[in-house]
Structure 1
Amino acid sequence: MDTQGSARRLTRRGLRPAHYALRRTALWALRPVALLRPAPRRGDRPRVRFLLQHAHGSGGTIRTVLNLSGHLAREHDVEIVSVLNRRATPFFPVADGVRIVVADDRLTPPAGRTGRLLARVPSLLTPVDDASFRSMNLRADLLLLRALWRRPPDVVIGTRPSLNLLVAELAPRGTAAVGQDHMNLASYRPALRRRLERAYRRLALLAVLTERTRAEYAAALAGAPTRLEVVPNALPELGGGPSRREHKVLLAAGRYTRQKGFDLLLDAYAPLAAEYPDWTLRIFGAGPMRDQLRKRVADRGLAGRAEVGGRTAKLGAEMERAAVYVLSSRFEGMPMVVLEAMSKGLPVVAFDCPTGPAEMITDGEDGLLVPAEDVAALTAALRRVMGDADLRDRLGERALRTAEEYRLDRIGPRWARLIAELRP
């Protein structure tokens, strides 16, 4: 099936208005069905359902949702609906008590002629400007609706724009609709942003990661009954011990996409390679820009001095063997990897990009912040920490204390209280 090819054709500028018109018609037809679903049956344990695009994947949102779900499962019935699945086993561990239900299992080809036909039709429910559109189709829409409406929970929580929209517009009657924004409002394309600003007014709660994002939504949703709460992501358990900052390694990790700015990082590191020949830059990740970044390593003469590696399930151990973590992103929501590095005692050098780093790092105390996308400033900050072991130790020890504020035993209870207040 050529779902991606169909999606690319449909996302041409001239056809976007037609898709949005079809989407509005589909929602208009489906809302009465959602309202006719039976209301949740109240039990002793609140029932919570998360919607994740790919629960078996390796992204930061997946990791933090699984982390939170494990904590909530102690006193809640927790189910994660994975919109689709492409892996036989989860990349991250799933805690006892957390049930994962796959809506569209891509490991098994669609059965029957109708299923194959629906899988070739682009999604009607996912906005064309959402990054997940190309992985969706009409068959996935129907399977997701079935999972959303099955045995309505007390609370349903979306975890990305397309799923937050679905929750806001089609949550079952009597179920509290909650959205999580793991990025920030300004990072979305204008057409998608307009739809978020309209639909999020239907949410009972929108949870965001930073005060800056909360302020953006407060202005956009002025007058709406939607409750806005800042709830940072909680630190997951990482393997390995704390770093002693003895190995002269600069570490970075993330998806190989433009957002993460690894091209900028390589440019910033290039002048330092000759100055500090005993240091190495190691980057871990996966994504469409991997080959381009490896070519950049060669073009900058960094072979043997900078590594663009694959993703790792043992990032904690890699942090233990590093001295400094670098965040070079052009934009973020709340970069969890910064807190993970701080929890290992690593000083973090970061672009002050929107949003997150400035609310996580106190410049000069537990890390260093430089202006967003300022390559020369990043080079200068890296030079400071690479050349000063005492500075690395001072920043790293303070980072350990900062990370304590984001432990799961502090963040998890905040979610439990919100769920109790939202429960019908």
Structure 2
Amino acid sequence: MKIRYLLLHAYGVGGTIRTVFNQAGAMAALGHEVTVVSVVRRRNTPQFGLDSRVRIEALVDQRGGVRPDSLGRRVWRRLRGRMVPRGEFAAGYFTERVERAVIDYVSSLRDGVLVTTRPALNLIAARRAPESVARVAQDHMNLDAYPATVREDIARHYGRFDAVVVLTRSNELAYRELLPRTPVLRIPNAVEPSGEPSRQENPVVVAAGRLVRQKGFDLLVPAFGQAARRHPEWELRIFGSGSQKAALAALIDAQGLGDRVRLMGRTNRLDGELARASIYALSSRFEGLPMVMIEAMGHALPVAAFDCPTGPADVLTHEIDGLLVPPGDVAALAAALDRLMGDRDLRLRLGAEAARTARSYAPEAVMPMWVDLFSRLLDGRPVGDRHETR
């Protein structure tokens, strides 16, 4: 079968890009014709590995900078709301030139499967991709995280999709309520099996993600600071890059944690860092499906996490394979970290269960769901509405 994945910036960094590359590679390995289409291109090479059997192409080359639009930004901003609503997190990318390129591309398709991967692209595909194409919308975040302007357009246009695929049970229920006549399926992201499990020998807490407000590292630092008073041998390592790096560095200094909290930057060796750690912390204000958390669980790491919308509670069971605390509650997160730091037996018990949970997200458990969905759509068969991984 012919499968096209449409990404905003396939040459960038982010969980959606990595998971789509994994999906594309798995489909190519099964013998399908797979193309990853990047709306914009701002780098020479992708930042993540992509199977050589997958073709990659870009619609708008911005390596030399963003060219001015013919209509001017102010005029196009007034028109743009018809396709890409204000409030879409990546709306700034969609200049006249970029939006027209996406419209022209999806309109030109005649067959195969088109998978779009964020609200802006989903909304354009819903309105402009021909019905001869099997149209699948992915939501890598969650419905409640979007502003009202975006949710209103989702309600208005997503009903045209052949299927909407979400990552978590709670998001599935939200979409089914919003789109009662549209097939909504839960297919989680696949996570490659991890290597060496943690031996619980190093007093290290690890967190990872973009250094942006969503990830809540500004909440994790003081939570760790509170727990660390009773455990002076422990340190926190935060992996990732982003716009909040300077603010987080200032916060670490203000908390007097400069020798115990380290901003590690990006790494291509996170697996090894997870294996050498003893706890994984997730402090997000909201999530889609927390991929790195599942990777950490694969290393038998116990997790202390905010029960934020959505994701952690769809994966973790409190006191079984991790500890969940109320969203944004710094004191509660500190208490969870304190418990884990002070109890190696608890870490070993929760970590062993976490590794079992992580196995249900392995590619061999997840990819058959995608094959079944695509095959049904192309054959004109009914699309089932329940896929389980647990």
- Say whether the fold is shared (TM-score over 0.5): yes
Task: Write out per-residue CA displacement over residues 217-248 of structure 1, whole angstroms, 9 at most, x where no aligned residue.
Answer: 111112x2x1111111100366x632212111
Deviation at 1:79, TM superposition (A): 0.8
Cross-structure match for 1:82: 38
Cross-structure match for 1:184: 142
Within the candidate set 236, 239, 255, 2:192 is matched to 236
Task: Write out per-residue CA displacement over residues 397-417 of structure 1, whole angstroms, 9 at most, x where no aligned residue.
Answer: 111111110000110111000
1:141-220 map, 5 Å: 141-220=99-178
SS at match of 2:121: helix
Rounded to whole Å, the distance in 1 between the matches of 2:101 and 2:129 is 15
Change (3 A) 1:210 1:290: same
Confirm or deny: 8 A CA contact 2:193 2:359 kept in the other structure. no
Rounded to whole Å, the distance in 2 between the matches of 1:234 and 1:211 is 16
Cross-structure match for 2:251: 296
Rounded to whole Å, the distance in 1 between the matches of 2:342 and 2:315 is 24
SS at match of 1:126: coil
SS at match of 2:188: coil
Which amino acid is the alignment partner of residue 103 of structure 2? L
Greater shift in the superposed pair: 68-77 or 229-238: 229-238
Cross-structure match for 2:388: none
Cross-structure match for 2:313: 358
Alignment RMSD (CA, Å): 1.7
Cross-structure match for 1:341: 296
Confirm or deny: 8 A CA contact 1:352 1:369 kept in the other structure. yes
Cross-structure match for 1:307: 262
Task: Write out per-residue CA displacement over residues 247-270 of structure 1, whole angstroms, 9 at most, x where no aligned residue.
Answer: 111000111111111111011111
Deviation at 1:286, TM superposition (A): 1.5
Cross-structure match for 1:140: 98
Q: Is 2:206 the partner of 1:251?
A: yes
Rounded to whole Å, the distance in 2 between the matches of 1:311 and 1:138 is 33
Confirm or deny: 8 A CA contact 2:193 2:362 kept in the other structure. no
Rounded to whole Å, the distance in 2 between the matches of 1:378 and 1:394 is 19
Cross-structure match for 2:238: 283
Identity %: 44
Deviation at 1:109, TM superposition (A): 4.8
SS at match of 2:89: coil
Task: Write out per-residue CA displacement over residues 14-59 of structure 1, whole angstroms, 9 at most, x where no aligned residue.
Answer: xxxxxxxxxxxxxxxxxxxxxxxxxxxxxxxx11111111112220
- Figure out how many residues of one structure are paired with residues of the other and give that number: 372
Which amino acid is the alignment partner of residue 357 of structure 2? T
Greater shift in the superposed pair: 203-212 or 166-175: 166-175
Rounded to whole Å, the distance in 2 between the matches of 1:183 and 1:109 is 28
TM-score scaled by structure 2?
A: 0.91
Confirm or deny: 8 A CA contact 2:69 2:95 kept in the other structure. no
Deviation at 1:214, TM superposition (A): 1.0
Change (3 A) 1:187 1:109: closer
Within the candidate set 6, 16, 19, 1:61 is matched to 16
Deviation at 1:166, TM superposition (A): 1.3
Cross-structure match for 1:71: 26
SS at match of 1:350: strand
Cross-structure match for 2:386: none
Task: Write out per-residue CA displacement over residues 135-173 of structure 1, whole angstroms, 9 at most, x where no aligned residue.
Answer: 221111222233334453411111111111111111124
Rounded to whole Å, the distance in 1 between the matches of 2:72 and 2:239 is 34
Change (3 A) 1:101 1:394: same
Within the candidate set 365, 390, 394, 2:349 is matched to 394
Q: Is 2:59 the partner of 1:103?
A: yes
SS at match of 2:88: coil
SS at match of 1:309: strand
Rounded to whole Å, the distance in 2 between the matches of 1:332 and 1:116 is 34
TM-score scaled by structure 1?
A: 0.84
Structure 1: state its 5+ residue gaps.
1-45
Deviation at 1:188, TM superposition (A): 0.5
Rounded to whole Å, the distance in 1 between the matches of 2:104 and 2:230 is 59
Deviation at 1:127, TM superposition (A): 2.0
Rounded to whole Å, the distance in 2 between the matches of 1:316 and 1:136 is 35
Rounded to whole Å, the distance in 1 between the matches of 2:309 and 2:371 is 28
SS at match of 1:127: coil
Structure 2: state its 5+ residue gaps.
381-390
Which amino acid is the alignment partner of residue 283 of structure 1? I
Confirm or deny: 8 A CA contact 2:305 2:312 kept in the other structure. yes
Q: Is 2:87 the partner of 1:129?
A: yes
Which amino acid is the alignment partner of residue 90 of structure 2? S
Which amino acid is the alignment partner of residue 93 of structure 1? G
Confirm or deny: 8 A CA contact 2:109 2:133 kept in the other structure. no
